[in-house]
Amino acid sequence: MTSHRRISRCTLALAAAVLLAGCGTPGGGAGGTPAPSGSPGPPSAGGAADAAPRAGSAPRTVVGGLDAPWSIAFTDRGAALVSQRDDGTVLELTGVGTEQASTREVGTVEGVVHRGEGGLLGLAVLADGEGAGWLYAYSTAAGGNRIQRFALTGEAGGLGLGPAQTIIEGLPAAGNHNGGRIAFGPDGMLYAGTGDAGDRASAQDPASLAGKILRLAPDGTVPEDNPDPGSPVYSSGHRNVQGLAWAEDGTMFATEFGQNTWDELNVIEPGGNYGWPEVEGIAGGGSGAQGKFIDPVQQWSPAEASPSGMAALDGTLYIANLRGEVLRTVPVADPGTSATHWSGEYGRLRDAVVAPDGALWVLTNNTDGRGDPSEGDDLVLGVTP
């Protein structure tokens, strides 16, 4: 193993990142190429180099020793849960903020089949007003991808999982392009990003749930106000969505892996079609090819991005990037610009979430078979604004 990646100077406080991402200007060194007037985003990849040091906390290790972690979720009582992709386990972080921080196993999602990018993926928690709430998990099984929910039992520091309740199953699965991110929106509905599972045409097929963003009620039923009555499909034309977040005004954003040319940041509209596989990245003309597809607000080459989990905090989007090995900040008010941070310092980044105390937590992903693990990997990193 190599020595662990560390920032040599106490730099890159995320409070500074908020300021820097919000003031990107051409040649200013803090933002990417701004969108031309009337354009939905830049015609080439945006993103500046690491920002200069500012006051605030440096990234700290919350906990280490994770094995192919994929998602972080918090209960309404402050407990932190992490999914491990390959073995199907859900871990609880204990002793956070102390030298005794560690993990304990909450339970294992039965029937998880790991191959390639499949396994136990996204987590989300819904409070029930009484007990510890419900844990929702997106995972790969023998019959395809599925979303299940489990009643959380016990108290923080000793949580357990009740029996599984499957709310949707048979989602197309493959060795890659499984999507997997789930999150509850401000409307209380459950959103899920699915991949095309290697079948490109399925993303444009309204009868397929592949290459889509789905919207479900917490019990798995289809909300009456979905774009297509009776269908869980909220938007289509996606290749592989792995990041979902909402700005304070309710605007929904999603990150998407491209093929060879462009990864994307999209503003999601109900019933919107985002073009894959007919279009990768910005088609031009402001309204997409033939006025049929919605263009991304920003695009990046896969070598510098591979965007996965995303969080929204104080007017800024924080995007964890795998292949690019950067944390990217995008100002909600100007989503055609961005800044990059931590370039290569912590390796592959899989998820970004806002903790109950307002800190940003970022999950590394170097033990998934594609990274270069260092001593202590994988990590949850914390930054206090």
Beta bridge partners of 105: 91
Amino acid at 90: V
Question: Which of 207, 265, 219, 260 has its CA nearest to residue 238?
Answer: 265
Domains and CATH numbers, the chain: 14-383 (2.120.10.30)
Query: H helices then E strands: how many in the chain?
Result: 1, 24
Tell me the CB-side half-sphere exposure of residue 261, using CA atoms within 13 A.
Answer: 10
- Look at the alpha carbons of 265, 75, 137, 381 in this order and tell me if their dihedral is positive or negative: positive
| Helix (H) or strand (E) segment spanning residue 17 | helix 14-22
Assess contact for 74 and 81: CB atoms under 8 A.
yes
If you compute the radius of gyration of the chain from its CA atoms, what whole number of angstroms results? 19
Amino acid at 347: G
Beta bridge partners of 135: 125, 150
Contacts of 365 (CB under 8 A, 6+ apart): 68, 69, 70, 308, 322, 347, 348, 349, 350, 371, 378
Neighbours of 357 (CB within 10 A): 11
The span from the CA of 37 to the CA of 40, in Å, is: 9
Q: pTM value? A: 0.87
pLDDT tens for the chain, 385 residues long, are 443 443 333 333 443 343 333 333 222 222 332 232 223 333 334 444 444 323 236 899 999 999 999 999 999 999 999 999 999 999 999 999 888 899 999 999 999 999 999 999 999 999 988 878 999 999 999 999 999 999 999 999 999 999 999 999 999 999 999 999 999 999 999 999 999 999 999 999 999 999 999 999 999 999 999 999 999 999 999 999 999 999 999 999 999 999 999 999 999 999 999 999 999 999 865 455 557 899 999 999 999 999 999 999 999 999 999 999 999 999 999 999 999 999 999 999 999 999 999 999 999 999 999 999 999 999 999 998 6
The span from the CA of 193 to the CA of 214, in Å, is: 6
